[in-house]
Amino acid sequence: MANLRCQPTRRAYPQTNLQLFNHMQQEGYSAADMTLIRNAYEVATHLYAGYFIASGREQMAHVVGTAGILSSLHVPAEIVAAGLIHNAYSNGDFGVPGKSITIAKRRQIIQAVGEEVEKYIHGFYELAAYRHAWLSLLGDIDKRAPVRRYAVLILIAEQLEHRLNDGGLKQYTNNVDENGPVLVAIALRLGFPLLADEIRAIVSSPAPENRVLCRLITAINDDRSRWVPPASCRRRVTVIVRIAINRGFRLLSRNKLASRVIGLARHGGSMG
């Protein structure tokens, strides 16, 4: 029977909130830990609503999978929680324009999940430029503060999660496969031999690529992540914009010069 996978499957990590909760309970996390994870999950549902990554998979599945990898390493719950919202500042929807970090956004995250969790998320954001410079991270990993070291761990976990579940696209395959030995070395230097074994396994014997399936994935999504807001939300936004435009015209009409410009524009439109 033909192999329909674009990447090998080594270990199944959670993809839903209930799978993550059950997984963490089996790993021995406390009730307080689980409460923190639930709060982080709630934050994620707001930040990533309607967000699909380039493979067509929901962003929520990716962040839950990242948290699942981290919890399998038995790291503190604060790091698992950070894994759930690791890319908040680069991809999260805070209801304001721009994908960048601001004081207001940081305060919002701190209020929801605490200052310690936010530190790891902030550290992850600062590491974004190193996604393709793993040798630089390896060179100074021992000199980094604990928060920065865990941020590196989250970065590796999220890249591995993409490799496991979005490997049909080269952008998720190449980074891990081409830098496998360095990632293994970093994982070992961080003190996580099981993670090193997982990376070693995934890059040592990749499954044959199914060209038809991979072509379908790429054609649908054009290698880009995208937001897909529900139709009801799009209609509501359209109504709000129309109201704002109408109010703007009424305000401008009070100014004589602006009123003449609007009148000429309308007259020109009717003539056309």
Alpha-carbon distance of 69 to 55, in angstroms, equals 20
Beta bridge partners of 51: 227
Tokens at residue 198, please? 């997982």
CA distances from 1 to 4, 96, 106, 195, 215 (A): 9, 49, 50, 31, 20
Alpha-carbon distance of 214 to 112, in angstroms, equals 38
Kindly report, residue by residue over 70-92, the tens digit of the pLDDT: 999 999 999 999 999 999 999 89
Would the pLDDT of 5 be above 50? no
Sign of the torsion angle spanned by Cα atoms 240, 243, 249, 253: negative
Domain boundaries, the chain: 17-227, 231-271
The pLDDT of residue 233? 67
CB contact set of 26 (below 8 Å; sequence gap of 6+)? none
Averaged pLDDT, 103-131:
92
Query: At the topology level of CATH, where does 17-227 sit?
Result: Hypothetical protein af1432 (1.10.3210)
pTM of the model: 0.79
> By percentage, how much of the chain surpasses pLDDT 90?
52
φ, ψ for residue 51, nearest 5 deg: -100, 125
Averaged pLDDT, 175-200:
94
Beta bridge partners of 52: 58, 226
Closest by CA to 153, choosing from 166, 140, 137, 164, is 137
The pLDDT of residue 9? 45
Would the pLDDT of 232 be above 50? yes
Tokens at residue 219, please? 């054609």
Alpha-carbon distance of 59 to 91, in angstroms, equals 10
pLDDT band at 53 (very low <50, low <70, confident <90, very high): confident
Averaged pLDDT, 16-28:
96
SS3 readout for the chain: CCCCCCCCCCCCCCCCHHHHHHHHHHCCCCHHHHHHHHHHHHHHHHHCCCEECCCCCEHHHHHHHHHHHHHHCCCCHHHHHHHHCCCHHHHCCCCCCCCCCCHHHHHHHHHHHCHHHHHHHHHHHHCHHHCCCHHHHHHHHHHCCHHHHHHHHHHHHHHHHHHHHCCCCHHHHHHHHHCHHHHHHHHHHHCCHHHHHHHHHHHHCCCCCCHHHHHHHHHHHCCCCEECCCHHHHHHHHHHHHHHHHHHHHHHHCCHHHHHHHHHHHHHHHHC
Q: Return the minimum-mean-pLDDT range out of 34-48, 227-241, 248-262.
A: 248-262
Kindly report, residue by residue over 249-270, the tens digit of the pLDDT: 555 445 555 555 545 444 444 4
CB 11 within 8 A of CB 24: no
